[in-house]
C-alpha cells in the first residue's frame, strides 16, 4: 500500500514583516511599510518589498508571513491575467480585489490552513478612492486610514488626531513618516529602511527606500528601567 504524505500547513509564521500604514489623501492613497523580514525575533532580511501594485487601480501592502504573501501574489497575478484576457475594456477595481482577498482569507481559515497575513488594499477608480484591510481570518473593513500589526495600536491614534481628507502629497508623506518613526522606536521588528508608495488615477508608484531621521538621546531610551520596582 502506497504511503500518503501528510498535509503540509503553515503552523506558525517563520519569516515575517511588521506593520503597514495607509491613508487617503487629496489625490489618492499613500501607503508605507519598512523592509525588514524577521526570522523569529532575528531581523534576518533588510530588503523585503511588501508594497505591490495590483492591476491598473490597486495597491497592496502586507504584514505577516512572507511566503504566504508570495502565494497571495500568485493568486492575484492569475486573477488579473484572467481579467485582462476578457479584453472588454473594463478592469477590476480595488473594492473587487479586496472582496476577492476576503473570500480567499476566509476560505483558507475555514480549511484550518490560513494565510498568515494582514493585508491593506487601496486604490482609485473613476475618481473614487478606496482603502480597506483584511486579516488572516477574513475580518475586513474600510476606512480613511488603516494599519496592521502594532500600527493598529501606535499609528492609528496619531492618524485619528492629525489626518484630514485634504492632505497634500507632501503632508501625507510627513504624517506617514511620523507614524513609521514611532513604530521604529517601539516595535522590535521594525527596521529603519522605509518604502512609501502612492496610487492615483494615473497609476501606482513605489518610491525607492530611505531611512528616517531618528533621535535616541531621550532619557527613557538611555535608562528605561530607572525607578522601576524590582529592576536589576
Listed by start position, the domains of the chain span: 13-222
Provide mean pLDDT across the span 25-30: 97
| Residue 10 annotated among the catalytic residues of the structure | yes
CATH class in words for 13-222: alpha beta
* Angle subtended at Cα 68 by Cα 178 and Cα 193, rounded to the nearest 5 degrees: 30
Q: Which pLDDT belongs to residue 5?
A: 54
Q: Which pLDDT belongs to residue 11?
A: 78
Which triple of cell numbers denotes residue 146? 488603516
Q: pLDDT-derived band of residue 231, with 50, 70 and 90 as boundaries?
A: low
Distance CA(88)–CA(42), nearest Å, equals 48
Provide mean pLDDT across the span 36-54: 95
Sign of CA dihedral 70, 71, 76, 79: positive
Catalytic residue, candidates 10, 102, 168, 200: 10
Q: Which pLDDT belongs to residue 222?
A: 83
**227 Cβ contact partners less than 8 Å away, ≥ 6 residues apart:** none
pLDDT digits (tens, 9 = 90+) for 157-210: 999 999 999 999 999 999 999 999 999 999 999 999 999 999 999 999 999 999
pTM: 0.90
Q: Which pLDDT belongs to residue 227?
A: 74
Q: Which pLDDT belongs to residue 224?
A: 78
Amino acid at each position: 500500500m502506497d504511503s500518503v504524505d501528510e498535509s503540509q500547513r503553515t503552523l506558525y509564521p517563520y519569516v515575517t514583516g511588521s506593520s503597514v500604514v495607509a491613508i487617503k489623501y487629496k489625490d489618492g492613497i499613500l501607503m508605507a511599510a519598512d523592509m525588514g523580514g524577521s526570522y523569529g525575533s532575528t531581523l534576518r532580511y533588510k530588503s523585503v518589498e511588501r508594497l505591490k501594485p495590483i492591476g491598473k487601480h490597486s495597491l497592496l501592502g502586507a504584514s505577516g508571513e512572507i511566503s504566504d504573501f508570495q502565494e497571495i501574489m500568485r493568486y492575484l497575478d492569475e486573477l488579473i491575467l484572467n481579467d485582462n484576457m476578457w479584453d472588454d475594456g473594463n478592469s477590476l477595481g480595488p473594492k473587487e480585489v479586496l472582496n476577492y482577498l476576503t473570500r480567499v482569507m476566509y476560505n483558507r481559515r475555514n480549511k484550518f490552513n490560513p494565510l498568515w497575513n494582514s493585508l491593506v488594499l487601496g486604490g482609485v477608480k473613476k475618481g473614487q478612492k478606496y482603502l480597506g484591510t483584511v486579516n488572516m481570518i477574513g475580518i475586513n473593513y474600510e476606512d480613511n486610514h488603516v494599519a496592521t500589526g502594532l500600527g493598529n495600536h501606535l499609528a492609528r491614534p496619531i492618524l485619528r488626531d492629525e489626518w484630514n481628507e485634504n492632505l497634500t502629497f507632501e503632508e501625507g508623506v510627513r504624517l506617514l513618516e511620523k507614524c513609521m518613526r514611532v513604530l521604529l522606536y517601539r516595535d522590535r521588528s521594525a527596521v529603519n529602511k522605509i518604502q512609501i508608495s502612492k496610487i492615483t488615477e494615473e497609476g501606482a508608484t513605489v518610491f525607492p527606500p530611505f531611512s528616517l531621521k531618528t533621535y535616541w538621546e531621550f532619557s527613557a531610551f538611555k535608562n528605561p528601567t530607572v525607578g522601576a520596582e524590582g529592576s536589576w
